[in-house]
Amino acid sequence: MITSKLPRIIFGALFAMLLAASASLLNGCLPLVVGGVAATAVVATDRRSTGTQLDDEFIEDKTAATVLERYGRSVHVNVTSYNGIVLLSGEVPNESTKEGIADIVRGWSKTRTLHNDLVVGPLTDLSARSNDTFITSKVKARFVEANRFQINHVKVVTERSVVYLMGIVRRDEGDAAADIARTTRGVQRVVKLFDYIA
């Protein structure tokens, strides 16, 4: 008896999630990613191949693990990879550490380009990092509000109030994203790290 009810329970849960997402969109809010349904939708509309998405995850995860193993908590490093373009952001104690971390990234075969924006200096505190998270959320919300491109085509990373934009975009999409980010309160500078398509 349990197995006969299972499809109806699954269908009901999926229907409820879709209904909640629709209601959120109507209210002008961003829907939460729930389970694998929203994640599958994001993967399906990503301009990267599934293999490239996995390569990017590998670069991010493996670099983060290697950095933690070698440098511990003496560094604050964020690793973001999009289509093989790797951004290093955060703070390190000296130039040799900065170069050592860059060498880790260069060691991965799927790294196409490295943008090393690590700052030599003291680690940022929790309030600065929280502010960066807040800026990222504001930029993304303004992307949705402007509705000038599909928002999952542009990845937003904020570090020390500098907004980095990554993705596979057309020129007009990249320009629109940069204009929106640049005019968002609290943003000090915008850095475009796009792959452009025709």
Q: Mind listing the domains of the chain with CATH numbers?
A: 50-120 (3.30.1340.30), 126-197 (3.30.1340.30)
Q: Is the model more confident about 157 or about 45? A: 157
Which residue's entry shows tokens 């030599």?
120
Per-residue pLDDT, 45: 82
What is the reported pTM? 0.78
Give, to the nearest 10 degrees, the angle between helix 50-71 and helix 95-106.
150
175-183 mean pLDDT: 98
Q: Is the model more confident about 24 or about 170? A: 170
53-80 mean pLDDT: 98
pLDDT band at 43 (very low <50, low <70, confident <90, very high): low
42 pLDDT higher than 80: no
How many angstroms separate the CA atoms of 108 and 101, rounded?
12
193 pLDDT higher than 60: yes
What is the C-alpha R_g of the chain? 19
11-38 mean pLDDT: 41
For residue range 131-178, list pLDDT tens digits in order.
Answer: 999 999 999 999 999 999 999 999 999 999 999 999 999 999 999 999
Q: How many residues does the chain have?
A: 198
How many angstroms separate the CA atoms of 133 and 165, rounded?
14
9 pLDDT higher than 50: no
How many angstroms separate the CA atoms of 36 and 10, rounded?
13
Phi, psi of 30 (to 5 degrees): -80, 130
Query: Which bin fits 121, alpha (ψ -120 to 50), beta or left (φ > 0)?
Result: left
Per-residue pLDDT, 198: 84
Per-residue pLDDT, 44: 63
